[in-house]
Structure 1
Amino acid sequence: MKVSVVTLLQESNIENFNSGLEVLKKQTLGFDNMELIVIDQAESKSEEQIIELAQLAKKANVRVQHDNSLKVEELRGKYISFFDFNYSTSPHLYKNLCREMDMHSVDFVSANLITSIREDRNLAEAEEVIGAGVNAMTGLKLINKESLLKMAGENKIEMSDSFIELLNINFYLQPFTFKYVNKQFYRNKFTFNESYVNNSISHIRYIAEHVDLSASEKSVSLVKIQLLKHLTFLLDKNMFTDNLSEEEQATAYDVLRNFLDLVSKKDIQSNDLDGYTPLFNMVNKKLDEEATHYIKLLRSKRHWYEQTNKYKKYFEKNPYDLEESLSWKLTKPLRLFSKWSVEVKEWFYKVFLLTLAAIWKPLTFNRKIWLVGEREDQAEDNGYFFFKHCRENYPKEKVYYIISKDSPHLYKVKKLGNVIYHSSLKHQLYMLVADTYISAWTFDECSYPAPKKQFIEMFGKQLAKKFTICLQHGVIIHNISPYLHKDRYNQNLIISSSEYEKKIIQNTLGYSDQEVAVTGLARFDNLHELSVKKQILIMPTWRRHLFKINKSSFLRSDYYKAYRNLISNKEFLDMIERHNISVKFYIHNQMQKFMDNFVVEHPNIEFLVKSTATVSELLKESSLLITDYSSVSSDFLYMNKPVVMYQFDPHNNHHAPVKEIQYSNLGSIVSNENELVQTVRRIVENDFRADKQYVKNSQRIFKYKDQNNCQRIYEVIKQKTS
C-alpha cells in the first residue's frame, strides 16, 4: 500500500460523507493502492450511509471501526494521511503529494487549504508556516509512517479532531523535514455554524494544553499567538455573539482568559491584536456579557467605518449632483423606458385578468363563490373545519380553500376538493370572481396573492366590494384591537362563541351588534367524541419582544429558561415517569425557529412543530394543557379539561386581558416553577378531572356545546350574503 488514509466519520462531516468518499475513490493514485480506515463516531447516519459503510467494509483495503483508538504500526501504507470527509480536492492530489515525498525524501508534505497561502509564497521554514496561521499549520498532510511513529509512539492513540490538529501543529515544533506544496490545493466544505465554532474553540483549548513544549520558546510562543488569533477570529463573528448560548460563550471566554495568561502584551501589540485590548481587559475581569456587547459594537463600528470610506471615496470621484451627471442624463431614456414597460406590462395583465374574470363569472352561472383560508400553509383552524363542513354537506356550493402547494396540511384539503394554490393564476382569478372572503384570521392578512401590495394596487376597486368574514383564530380573551380593529380591517362579519365574547368584540374592536354573530367557533365541532390519552400538552404562546431577536438573546430570555427548566425539572420528570404520562411540547408557530434549543432526551417527551403535528388533534387527545396566555385554553375549557396557565412574566408580555373573560375563568394560574409542578401533580392525582368551578365557567362562557357551529356559521353567511 502506498498511502493509509485515516478519517473520522462524525456529525460535523456526515452530510459530506458521500462526496468525500467520491473524492478518495477518484484519486488517480488508485483507490486500490490506498488503505482506508474509517473511524465511525457518527450516530445520525442515514440508511443509505449505513449500507454504504457496510459495503465499504467488505473491501480488502478498507477497515471500518467503532473503536476510537489507532495503532500506527498496524497501518499498511508507506505514507499516512488524515483526511476529513468535508475535504474536496483534485483527483490528482495524493498522486502529486506522493511524488513530492518520493522526490524530496522528507518527513511529510503539506497541501494548501485554498485561500490560506498565496500560490507564489514559498514556506520553507517551520516558523514561516506557523506564522501563516492555524489553517496553514493544520493543513492536509502526507506523513512518512516512520516519522509518525516517532511522533505518536508505538502505543495506540485515541483519535479525535483535536488530537489530529495537535499532531499537525506539533510536526512543526519538532526537527522534522517537510515540503509545503502551496500549489496543491484542497477545499474544506464545513458548515460555519454553532457546532463548528464550539468544536473549534474546544480544539484550541486542547491544543494549548497539549502543545509540545520541548520546542524552542519562540516557536511555542508563535503557535500560541496564532491560536489566540484564530480564537479571536471566531469570537468576532455573528455566529458567536448571536447564536451561541450564554454557557457556550462563557466556555469560550474561559479559553480566552487562559490564553491571555500565556501571551504577553508585547506579543499582542506586535501581532495585529491591539484593537482587541478592551475586549481582553473585559474578559480578564470576567465581564463576559459586556465583552459580548463590545464585540457587537466593534463589528458595527468597523462596518460603518468601511461604508463611510467607501462612499467617501465615491463622492470624491463624483462630487457633483447625481441628477446633473452625464451618466444620469444618458441613462434617463432607459429608465423611463423601463418604468413605462413595467406599467404597460401591468396594464395588459390587469386587462387580461379582468377580461378573464368577466368571461369566467357567467360560466359559473353567476353563482355565489366563497373563498376560505387561514395562514397560507395551514389547514387546522376554523377556516379548515368550516370548509370541511361545506364540502361534506353542501358539495354543490362554490366554496374553495386557498393553501400553499408545499403546505404539510395540503393532503387534508385535497381530499375535499376545490383547492386553490396560494398566489397561482387561479387564485388571482378567483379573487375577482368570488363574492365572499372567509378567513380564520383576516383574508387580506393571509390569503391575498403575492405580491400583495401590487395586487391591491391593481385591483383595489374590485376587492373593496367583497364581503369579508372573520371566523376567528380562537376565543378572544385579550384586547386585540391593534390587530383586528374595524378601522384597520373593516370586516363585514365576525363570528363569536358567546355573548361574552361578542361584548369584547363590540367594546374593543368597534363592531356593531349586526356585525357580530354568536354561532360558536367552527373548530369546536371537532372537540367532541374524544379519545383522551394520558398526555400533557405544553403549548405556550409567543412574545412580541422575542419575535425578531437572535438565538443568543433568546437563550437568555425568561421565556426560554422557564420552559427549558420545566422540561428538565427532576420532580416533573419523575412524576411523568412514575405515572407513565406522555408530554407533547409545542410552542407557537412564530417561536418554532428556536425549538431545537428546547429539546431534551427523554422517552416520555416529544417536541413538535407545525410540520409534524396537528394542533386540533393535540388538543383533543391531551388530558391537561399547560400554557401561559394562549386562547387554546378556551378550547380545553370547552371540553371540560383542566388548564394550568404558567404566567411567570405578567409584566413582560404583550397580551392585555379583558374583563369579560378572565384568565382565572379558564384555569389555574401559577407564577413559578415549583407552584406549576405541584399544581400539575394535584391534577394528575385527581385523574385529570377539571375542578367544578371551571366546568361551571365552561357552561357559562360557551353558548353552544354541540356539533352545529359550522352549520350556524353557514346559515348566517348565507343570510348576510343573499
Structure 2
Amino acid sequence: MKVSIIALLHKNNVKNFAATSQLLKQQTIGYENIELVIVDELEAKSNQIKKEIAALSQDPNVRVVEDVQIEELSGEYVSFLDWNYQLKPDMYLTLVQTATDSDMDFVSANEGPPAQARYHEAHFVMNNGLSAVTSLKVLKKEVLLKLNVGNHIDSALVKTIDFILYSLPTLSFSFLGELTYKNQFSFDEDYVYQESIDARKIIEHAPTVFHHEFDEEVEMVLVQHLMNLIDKKLFTDDMIEQKQTFVYETLRMLTKNLTDDEFTTMGLGGYNLFLNMVKKGLDHEATEYIKLLRSKRHWYTQTKKYQTYFKKHPHNLEKSLSWKITKPLRTAYRLYNAVRRRLVKYTLLASANVVRLFLSNKKVWLVGEREDQAEDNGYFFFKYCREHYPNEKIYYVINQDSPHLDRVEKYGNVIYHSSWKHKIYMLVANTYISAWAFEECSYPRPKQQFINMFKKKLETKNNVSLQHGVIIHNIAPYLHKERYNQDLIISSSDYEKKIIMNTLGYEEDEVAVTGLARFDNLHDISVKKQILIMPTWRRHLFKINKNQFLKSDYYKAYRDFIQNPAFLDLIERHNIPVKFYIHSQMQKFMSHFVIEHPNIEFLVKSTATVSELLKESALLVTDYSSVSSDFLYMNKPVVMYQFDPHNNHHSPVEEIKYSDLGTIVSTEEQLVDAVTAVVENDFKAQQQYINNSNRIFKYKDRHNAERIYQAISEKTS
C-alpha cells in the first residue's frame, strides 16, 4: 500500500532535513512504497542543502515542487511530514496497516509521551491539545480530495486540515497513543510567529468548516497553545514588538467573545486578568503582567521547595554535622588562599624590584585606552612617543586578542592586559596615562583584588587623563576629582579647561591646555564625499534586552532615518557612501539596524577604526558625541540629531555649546533636510562653524602630542 508524503521544507526545519531524509529511507513499509513530495519554501539555501536536495531528486520516488496537485499523488494514503520529526522505522507501516485493516479514513500517531489509550472520538483528542490534533497521520487521498483544500499546501493549511478532520463526525479514525515520535523543532522567535500565523488560518476557516459542537473545543485548543507560547521568557523579553503585537492580535481574535468562566473551563483561570488586558488592547501592560506572574510563580515554587527542605534539615548550619566535619577543610582552604595571595604579592614585588634595577630606575609610563582598543588619544600619544622618544620606557597596555593589536605591536613595548608582566610593570611604573581613567580600563584583572593587594603603592602613582574627546557636556560622574583624582588632565582649549575646573573639581595647575594627541593626525587629510553616522550611547539602554531596545526611541530614530526614502534617494542620486557606526557600548544591537543597501555599510570596532572614519568622511551625523569636535577641528560640517534632549544622560555645559559645533535638529524631516543642504553645498562647512573652530581650539598644528609629553614630564618630574 503506497503512501504519498508531502514534506514542507522551510527555514524552521531545514537543519533536520538530511537526518529525516535518512529516516524515511529506513521505513519498514519499504522505500519503494513511499512517494516523497518536497514542497520547497526555502528563500535561500546553503550549498550543502542544494546538494542534498539534488541527490534526493535523482530518486524516481521523489519530487521537488512549489505547489502540490492532490489528484496527481500516486499514493492511496497521504501524509504531511515536518522535517523536524524523528520517526521510528515502523512508523508508516503501522499507520498504513492500521488504516487498511480497519478501513479508517485517517490514523494519527502521538507526538508526546506514550499512552495506552486509542481514541476514536474527536473531543478526546482535542483535550490533549494542539500537538495531539496536528500530530503525524496518514489519511485517505479520497478524503483529502473531498475536503477541497486547494493545491497550495503550507504549514498553516496542514493544521487547518487536521482540525477539519477531527471536526467531521462522519469520518472514522484512530489515534494511536502508543505510537510515538519526537518533534525536534527550535523554540525561537520564528517558531512562535509562525504558530500564530497558523492559528489565524484555522480561525479563518472555522466559520465555514467546523460543526457548532466543536467550535468551543477548537477555541480552547488554540487559546491554550498561544498561552503556552506567550508565557515564556522568549516571548516577553526577546521577541520584537511587531511580532508580539501580531500574536496578541491573534489571541484577541480567539478570545473576544469568551468570558472569565470560559477561561476557567479551559484551565486558564490563572490568566483571567492577563487575557482581559489583551482583549482591551493593553498589550504592553499584558506583557509586564505576565513577567510578574512568571516571577511570582517561580519564587512561590522556590519557597515551597526550601520550606520542605528546611523542615527536614536543620537551618542552623553551624550545628549541622556536615559543617563540623568540613570545618578543617574550610580552615585549610582559607589558609591556602592567604598563603597564595601573600606568595603572589611578594613575588610580584621582588620581580618589580629586579625590573626596576634592570631599567636603571628610569621613569616608566604605562599608556592605555579601553583594554581592547588602540585608536584614541592613548594610541596616538604612544605612537608619537615611540617615534620621537624611542629610548624612553613608555609601554602600551592592550588585550592580546584585540583587533587593534597589530597597530601598536609594530612600535614595540606592548604589554598584554592582565598578564604577569602587566602586574609587574604596574608596580614599576611611576605614571599611568589613559584616554579615560587608567583605573577604569587598564588595571589588571581581577581589578579589586589587585587594588586590595597594592593599595598603598598605587596611591603613589601619577595619573594622567589624555581625554577621550573635547568635553562638551558635564562628565562629573565619570572623571570627578573626588572619584578618580587625576594628577593631570589634558584639554584642547581654554574653554574646555574652564569646564574641567567648574564641573570636575580640578585646580588650574592640574589642567594642561595642549590639544588632544589624536588631533595631530587630522592634517593633510584626504576626504571622501562620504557620510558618517555615529550616534553615541545612552545609559538607560546599556543593560536591557533586545526586545526593550527595539522599542526604544534611540533604535526607532536611527532605523527610520537610514530607511527614510528621501535620504536613500539622496545618497543614490549622488552616489554617496554612508558608514554607520554606533558607540561600542551599543554595538551588541548593531544587527538590528542592518539593511541591504549598496551605499550603506554597517561597521563595528572589529571592522573599522574610528580615527580613520573621522578623517575620511565629509559629513558627520551624530547626536551628543564628542567626535563632533574632531569634525569642527577639521572644519567639516556636523549635523546633531537630538531627538531625545530630555531622555539622555548628556548634560550640556555653557562654555562650549552643541550649537557651536554644528546644526541641531530634533525631527527626522529636519535631519534629512539638513543632510541634503550639506550635500547640495558640496559638503562645505558654513563660515560660522569655521569661525567657532578657530575660536575654540587654541592650537591647530601637529605638536599636540609633544606639548602633552612636556606637560607630563614637568608634572611627574
CA–CA distance in 2 between the matches of 1:171 and 1:245?
35
Residues 5 and 530 (structure 1), Cα distance of their counterparts in 2 relative to 1, 3 Å cut: farther
CA–CA distance in 2 between the matches of 1:401 and 1:370?
9
Secondary structure at the aligned position of 1:501 is classed as: helix
The aligned residue for residue 166 of structure 1 is 160
Q: Any stretches of 5+ residues in structure 2 without a counterpart?
A: none
Q: 1:505 aligned to 495, 500, 503, which one?
A: 500
The aligned residue for residue 248 of structure 1 is 243
Residues 427 and 181 (structure 1), Cα distance of their counterparts in 2 relative to 1, 3 Å cut: farther
Checking the alignment, whether the CA contact within 8 Å between 1:72 and 1:148 is kept in structure 2 is no
Checking the alignment, whether the CA contact within 8 Å between 1:123 and 1:129 is kept in structure 2 is no
Are positions 1:29 and 2:26 aligned together?
Answer: yes
Q: 2:417 aligned to 402, 416, 422, which one?
A: 422
What RMSD over aligned residues (CA atoms) do the two structures have, in Å? 3.2
Residue 694 of structure 1 and its aligned partner are, at CA, apart by 0.6
Q: 2:69 aligned to 55, 60, 71, which one?
A: 71
The aligned residue for residue 343 of structure 1 is 338
Are positions 1:566 and 2:561 aligned together?
Answer: yes
The aligned residue for residue 305 of structure 1 is 300
Checking the alignment, whether the CA contact within 8 Å between 1:497 and 1:702 is kept in structure 2 is yes
Residues 80 and 554 (structure 1), Cα distance of their counterparts in 2 relative to 1, 3 Å cut: same
Residue 616 of structure 1 and its aligned partner are, at CA, apart by 1.8
The aligned residue for residue 10 of structure 1 is 10
Are positions 1:206 and 2:204 aligned together?
Answer: no
Checking the alignment, whether the CA contact within 8 Å between 1:98 and 1:142 is kept in structure 2 is no
Checking the alignment, whether the CA contact within 8 Å between 1:112 and 1:184 is kept in structure 2 is yes
Residue 311 of structure 1 and its aligned partner are, at CA, apart by 3.6
Deviation string 1:43-83 (CA, Å, 9 cap, x unpaired) is 45445555555565556565555x3x123455566765544
Residues 667 and 74 (structure 1), Cα distance of their counterparts in 2 relative to 1, 3 Å cut: same
Identity %: 55
Q: TM-score, normalised by structure 1?
A: 0.88
Residue 469 of structure 1 and its aligned partner are, at CA, apart by 2.1
Checking the alignment, whether the CA contact within 8 Å between 2:492 and 2:513 is kept in structure 1 is yes
Secondary structure at the aligned position of 2:652 is classed as: coil
Secondary structure at the aligned position of 2:467 is classed as: coil
Q: Any stretches of 5+ residues in structure 1 without a counterpart?
A: none
- Aligned counterparts, 1:269-288, within 5 A: 269-288=264-283
Residue 471 of structure 1 and its aligned partner are, at CA, apart by 1.5
The aligned residue for residue 456 of structure 2 is 461
The aligned residue for residue 41 of structure 1 is 41
CA–CA distance in 1 between the matches of 2:606 and 2:381?
22
Residues 185 and 48 (structure 1), Cα distance of their counterparts in 2 relative to 1, 3 Å cut: closer
Checking the alignment, whether the CA contact within 8 Å between 2:12 and 2:191 is kept in structure 1 is yes
- The code of the aligned residue for 1:42 comes to L
The aligned residue for residue 667 of structure 2 is 672
Deviates more, 1:75-84 or 1:402-411: 75-84
Are positions 1:625 and 2:620 aligned together?
Answer: yes
The aligned residue for residue 132 of structure 2 is 136
Residue 365 of structure 1 and its aligned partner are, at CA, apart by 4.9
- The code of the aligned residue for 2:549 comes to F
Residue 137 of structure 1 and its aligned partner are, at CA, apart by 2.6
The aligned residue for residue 547 of structure 1 is 542
CA–CA distance in 1 between the matches of 2:106 and 2:372?
57
Checking the alignment, whether the CA contact within 8 Å between 1:221 and 1:263 is kept in structure 2 is no
Residue 245 of structure 1 and its aligned partner are, at CA, apart by 4.0
Residues 4 and 395 (structure 1), Cα distance of their counterparts in 2 relative to 1, 3 Å cut: farther
- The code of the aligned residue for 1:309 comes to K
CA–CA distance in 2 between the matches of 1:705 and 1:674?
35
CA–CA distance in 1 between the matches of 2:453 and 2:142?
75
The aligned residue for residue 229 of structure 1 is 224
Residue 418 of structure 1 and its aligned partner are, at CA, apart by 4.1
Deviation string 1:494-531 (CA, Å, 9 cap, x unpaired) is 22222222222222222233332222212222223322
Residue 427 of structure 1 and its aligned partner are, at CA, apart by 3.1
Q: TM-score, normalised by structure 2?
A: 0.89
Checking the alignment, whether the CA contact within 8 Å between 2:99 and 2:106 is kept in structure 1 is no
Deviates more, 1:367-376 or 1:634-643: 367-376
Residue 631 of structure 1 and its aligned partner are, at CA, apart by 0.5
Are positions 1:660 and 2:655 aligned together?
Answer: yes
- The code of the aligned residue for 2:398 comes to I
The aligned residue for residue 323 of structure 1 is 318
Residues 672 and 321 (structure 1), Cα distance of their counterparts in 2 relative to 1, 3 Å cut: same
Residue 120 of structure 1 and its aligned partner are, at CA, apart by 4.4
- The code of the aligned residue for 1:10 comes to H
Deviation string 1:15-69 (CA, Å, 9 cap, x unpaired) is x2xx54134336661797666554443345445555555565556565555x3x1
CA–CA distance in 2 between the matches of 1:240 and 1:386?
48
Q: 1:530 aligned to 525, 536, 553, which one?
A: 525
- The code of the aligned residue for 1:284 comes to K
Secondary structure at the aligned position of 1:625 is classed as: strand
The aligned residue for residue 698 of structure 1 is 693
Residues 331 and 527 (structure 1), Cα distance of their counterparts in 2 relative to 1, 3 Å cut: same
CA–CA distance in 2 between the matches of 1:74 and 1:429?
79
Checking the alignment, whether the CA contact within 8 Å between 2:256 and 2:279 is kept in structure 1 is no
Residues 83 and 440 (structure 1), Cα distance of their counterparts in 2 relative to 1, 3 Å cut: farther
CA–CA distance in 1 between the matches of 2:294 and 2:406?
47
CA–CA distance in 1 between the matches of 2:146 and 2:381?
73
Residue 7 of structure 1 and its aligned partner are, at CA, apart by 3.9
Residues 289 and 505 (structure 1), Cα distance of their counterparts in 2 relative to 1, 3 Å cut: same
Checking the alignment, whether the CA contact within 8 Å between 1:161 and 1:203 is kept in structure 2 is yes
CA–CA distance in 1 between the matches of 2:394 and 2:80?
64
Residues 660 and 171 (structure 1), Cα distance of their counterparts in 2 relative to 1, 3 Å cut: same
Deviates more, 1:306-315 or 1:30-39: 30-39
Residue 448 of structure 1 and its aligned partner are, at CA, apart by 2.0
Q: 1:556 aligned to 530, 535, 551, which one?
A: 551
Residue 581 of structure 1 and its aligned partner are, at CA, apart by 2.5
- The code of the aligned residue for 2:584 comes to N
CA–CA distance in 2 between the matches of 1:366 and 1:164?
81
Deviation string 1:256-275 (CA, Å, 9 cap, x unpaired) is 12101465654422121112
The aligned residue for residue 520 of structure 1 is 515
CA–CA distance in 2 between the matches of 1:242 and 1:215?
36
CA–CA distance in 2 between the matches of 1:49 and 1:566?
37
Checking the alignment, whether the CA contact within 8 Å between 2:99 and 2:107 is kept in structure 1 is no
CA–CA distance in 2 between the matches of 1:540 and 1:388?
27
CA–CA distance in 2 between the matches of 1:617 and 1:443?
24
Residue 691 of structure 1 and its aligned partner are, at CA, apart by 0.9
CA–CA distance in 1 between the matches of 2:496 and 2:472?
8
Deviation string 1:218-262 (CA, Å, 9 cap, x unpaired) is 444323211101112222223333334444333222211210146
- The code of the aligned residue for 2:529 comes to K
CA–CA distance in 2 between the matches of 1:653 and 1:241?
25
CA–CA distance in 2 between the matches of 1:671 and 1:478?
18
Deviation string 1:76-123 (CA, Å, 9 cap, x unpaired) is 667655444545x36xx244443453366356555544xxx3334535
